[in-house]
Amino acid sequence: MEIRDRGIFGELHPALKLLMLGMIMLLSLFLVMISGSLALIPFISDDWFEALLHGFDFARISDLNILRYLQILSHVGLFIMPSLVFAWLAGGSIGKYFGLDRRFSPGLLMLSILLIISAVPLINYLIELNMRMTLPESLTHVEEWMQRAEDNAMELTERFLNVTTLQGLLFNIFMIAVIPAIGEEFLFRGIILRIFRQWSKNIHIAVWVSAVLFSAMHLQFYGFLPRMFLGVLLGYLFVWSGTIWLPVFAHFINNALAVTAFYLIHNGYWDVDYQELGKETTAIVYVIFSLIIVGFILYKFFRYYKERVVTA
C-alpha cells in the first residue's frame, strides 16, 4: 500500500524530508528551551546559575527539579513540537497524517497492552545479552566512555524515580511515560518510519530502520538491543493497525510499568521485580513463552492488516 503525502512537503524526496525534519527538530528544540527558560526568569534562584556553571548535583533536590523541568522541555522541543509541525507541512492534516482519526476496537487495544507485557521476559533477556557485549580492545577507551555515560544516565534515572509520595509517582508517570509515549511515537513511528516506507517501498525495512534510529537516539549502548526490539514491536503495531494510538498506548504501558514497579519495590509495597524475568539462565522458559506469545499477537495484527487492505 503506497503512502502519499499531500502537504507542502508532500512531493519532496524522502531524503529531503529527513533533512527538513532534522532542521525543524533543531529549531524547535532551540525555541522551546529558550522560551521555557525565559518563562522561569521570575522564579530563578541562585541554584539555577550555580548548577549551570558548576554542573548538576543529583543528590540535591533543587538540581533534580531543574533537570526534571529541562527533561520535559527537551522532549517537547525535540519530539512533540517538530512532529506536529512536520505532520502539518507534509500531510496537510495532523490527524490524518498520524491516523489519529482511525478507529480501533477495544480488542486491539488489549492486544497491544498484552503484547508489551508478554514481551517483558524477552526484553529482559536482551538487556542481559546487551550488557555482556564488549568492544574490541582497540576501542577500550570508547567502551569506558560509554560505560560512564550509561552509569550517569542510570543514576539520574534512579534519582528521578526515587519518590515516596503518590504525587511524585504520578509526576514521574507523566514525565517518563506520557510525554515520551506521545513524542517518540509521533516522531519515530509516525514520521521517520513513514518516510523510510516511502523511500524503500518496504514495510519491514522501514520498521527496522526506524527502530535502529529510535534506539540510537537514546545514546545508551548497553540498552541498544532491547530498545531496538521494542521499537520493532511498536513499528509493526503502527503499520499493521494504521493508527498511531496503539503504539502510543503500548509505549506508555511499557514505561509506566517500569516507573510504577520501581515505586512499589523501593517503598516496600512489593517485593517481586518483574524486570528480572528472563535474565537468569534458568528462566529461559519465560523467554520461550514470551517469544511464542509475542509472535502470536503480531500474527493477529498482521491478519488484521491484511483484512484492512483487502476491504480498503
pLDDT of residue 50: 60
Q: What is the band of 101 on the pLDDT scale with cuts at 50, 70, 90?
A: confident
Q: Is the confidence at residue 20, as pLDDT, over 70?
A: yes
Please identify which residue in the block is written with the cell numbers 538487556: 127
pLDDT of residue 14: 93
Q: Is the confidence at residue 253, as pLDDT, over 90?
A: yes
Kindly report the pTM of this predicted structure: 0.88
Q: Which string of DSSP letters, residue by residue, matches 261-281?
A: HHHHHHTTS----GGGTTTSG
Rounded CA separation 80/73 (Å): 10
Q: Is the confidence at residue 230, as pLDDT, over 90?
A: yes
Q: Is the confidence at residue 263, as pLDDT, over 60?
A: yes
What is the domain partition of the chain in residue ranges? 98-311
The C-alpha cell that represents 150 in the structure block: 550509561
Q: Is the confidence at residue 281, as pLDDT, over 90?
A: no
pLDDT of residue 2: 60
pLDDT of residue 4: 74
- Stretch 230-255: mean pLDDT: 94
pLDDT single digits (tens) 161-181: 888 899 999 999 999 999 999
- Stretch 19-47: mean pLDDT: 85
pLDDT single digits (tens) 107-145: 899 999 999 999 998 998 898 888 777 767 776 777 677
- Residue 134 is which amino acid? T
Rounded CA separation 244/235 (Å): 10
Q: Which string of DSSP letters, residue by residue, matches 233-266?
A: HHHHHHHHHS-SHHHHHHHHHHHHHHHHHHHHHH
pLDDT single digits (tens) 63-73: 677 788 888 99
**84, 78 contact by CB (below 8 A):** no
- Residue 9 is which amino acid? F
Q: Could you tell me what percent of the chain has a pLDDT over 70?
A: 86
Rounded (5°) CA angle 19-20-23: 90
Rounded CA separation 12/49 (Å): 44
Q: Is the confidence at residue 312, as pLDDT, over 60?
A: no
- Stretch 296-309: mean pLDDT: 89
Tell me the pLDDT of the chain averaged across its residues: 85
pLDDT single digits (tens) 47-88: 555 655 555 555 566 667 778 888 899 999 999 999 999 999
Please identify which residue in the block is written with the cell numbers 525495512: 205
Give the highest mean pLDDT range of 125-134, 201-210, 282-291: 201-210
